[in-house]
Structure 1
Amino acid sequence: MQDLLHDISQCTICKAHLPLVPRPVLTAHINSKIVIIGQAPGTKVHASGIPWDDASGKQLRSWLNVTDEQFYNPENFAIIPMGFCYPGKGKSGDLPPRPECAPQWHDLLWEQLPQVELVLLIGMYAQRHYLKHTAKKTLTETVGNFEAYLPKFMPLPHPSPRNRFWFTKNPWFQDAILPILKQKIQNIIS
């Protein structure tokens, strides 16, 4: 695993398309029990090199009901985004994850993750890639039908503060799904 993570840290496959120097951000351990598949690092995470080191990460840790120490213990959580480097700014937020990362690296990472019990698919890019034709038409439908993807996958919306409107419009997520998510996480990491 360490050799693979080193190889990924040196990756420059999409360098010509990035606004900043390549800085792949991910964590994994051969004993990781939960994998978080997100989108791509933002500028703050690019600067720190620490996955989910931003407001979205704080919200995600709250959803999971875990401490920073639990979250950043790679034996608990592997953090593998769809795109490992900051993709740049778009019209309404960051650009989509670069399409090169997942095909280049994800299968190799999965070969090194035999202990995984749950995969959290955060956002539409991760859900479309991993759920393929079983993903629903919208993220809201996919998240609302999360039980169809268990026990392996659990689709979630992105915890970004930009999604305030979605959370206000869909209170069932906090009321019905977050308690189930928190219990699953505690059962796995305790």
Structure 2
Amino acid sequence: MIEDTFTVLQSKILSCQYCADSLPLPPKPIIQIHPEAKLLIAGQAPGQKAHDMGRPFDDLSGDRLRDWLGITKDVFYDAEQVAIVPMGFCFPGNSFFKNGKSASNKSGDLPPRPECAIQWREDLLSQLSKIELTIVLGAYAQDYHLGCSGKVTEQVKKWSFWLEQGKLALPHPSPRNNRWLKQNPWFEVDVLPILKARVKTLLQVSVG
């Protein structure tokens, strides 16, 4: 019964047209889900590259995130181990999006559309009942999963508190955050070894 409910819900999400009139491109939900997954990546929204390729985090940000987690691409894209559920399932566009093409991404993408969380998130997360660790990326995911707003850095610094609750706020792994990483060396020294060890135990994989 759980599998049937999950399959129906997944099908409805992947065919969703709920906010089609508000998107710059036709709706194309980008998620990775399976009821057996133990690790959840809760991000913001797919970028245009993810939209074009149909797969999330297949870029430099994804390479860094996988390095932080200590897992390979094969493990990362194994839905039975890792769920990837952004706050918005479709590419929201950016302020330079014109004529169906992104002229520039200097300003970054627009915020995730709120309709996804309202329409789908609670029901979807209830199906992911085996999640033991949720990685929270960005302010919108932080607001939903941690129940707090404010600067991301403040919650990253509370890593030990959140880890006890099966959650962990991380800075976005984008190369745009290189400066943040240089200004906060404690993150790589104190947080990442513990994160990798937790993921290794959770997924029973060798840490890279």
- The TM-score with structure 1 as length reference comes to 0.95
Does residue 1:78 correspond to 2:83, yes or no? yes
Does residue 1:15 correspond to 2:15, yes or no? no
- The TM-score with structure 2 as length reference comes to 0.87
The letter for the 1-side match of 2:113 is: R
1:89 counterpart SS class: coil
Does residue 1:159 correspond to 2:169, yes or no? no
1:99-138 equivalences under 5 Å are 99-133=114-148, 137-138=150-151
Equivalent pairs, count: 188
The letter for the 2-side match of 1:139 is: V
Tell me how far apart the structure 1 counterparts of residues 118 and 161 of structure 2 sit (CA, whole Å): 25
**1:79, distance to aligned residue in structure 2 (A):** 0.4
Tell me how far apart the structure 1 counterparts of residues 128 and 40 of structure 2 sit (CA, whole Å): 9
Pick from 52, 55, 64 the counterpart of residue 59 of structure 1.
64
Q: Could you list the per-position Cα deviations for residues 69-99 of structure 1 after superposition, in whole angstroms to 9, with x for gaps in the alignment?
A: 1101111101000000000113621111111
Tell me how far apart the structure 2 counterparts of residues 103 and 186 of structure 1 sit (CA, whole Å): 33
User: Which residue is 2:35 aligned to?
Assistant: 30
Which has more radius of gyration? 2
Tell me how far apart the structure 1 counterparts of residues 175 and 134 of structure 2 sit (CA, whole Å): 22
Runs of at least 5 residues in structure 1 that lack an aligned partner in the other structure: none
User: Which residue is 1:140 aligned to?
Assistant: 153
Report sequence identity in percent. Answer: 47
Tell me how far apart the structure 2 counterparts of residues 128 and 38 of structure 1 sit (CA, whole Å): 11
Tell me how far apart the structure 1 counterparts of residues 155 and 22 of structure 2 sit (CA, whole Å): 30
Q: Could you list the per-position Cα deviations for residues 19-67 of structure 1 after superposition, in whole angstroms to 9, with x for gaps in the alignment?
A: 1111000011110101110010011100011121121111111111101
Tell me how far apart the structure 2 counterparts of residues 148 and 42 of structure 1 sit (CA, whole Å): 30
The letter for the 2-side match of 1:11 is: C
| Higher mean C-alpha deviation, range 105-114 or range 32-41 | 105-114
Tell me how far apart the structure 2 counterparts of residues 12 and 59 of structure 1 sit (CA, whole Å): 32
The letter for the 1-side match of 2:118 is: P
Runs of at least 5 residues in structure 2 that lack an aligned partner in the other structure: 1-5, 96-105
Pick from 148, 168, 171 the counterpart of residue 182 of structure 2.
168
2:40 counterpart SS class: strand
User: Which residue is 1:89 aligned to?
Assistant: 94
CA RMSD of aligned residues (A): 1.2
**1:68, distance to aligned residue in structure 2 (A):** 0.7
> Which 4+ residue blocks in structure 1 deviate beyond 3 angstroms?
none
Tell me how far apart the structure 1 counterparts of residues 174 and 128 of structure 2 sit (CA, whole Å): 27
Tell me how far apart the structure 2 counterparts of residues 93 and 145 of structure 1 sit (CA, whole Å): 26
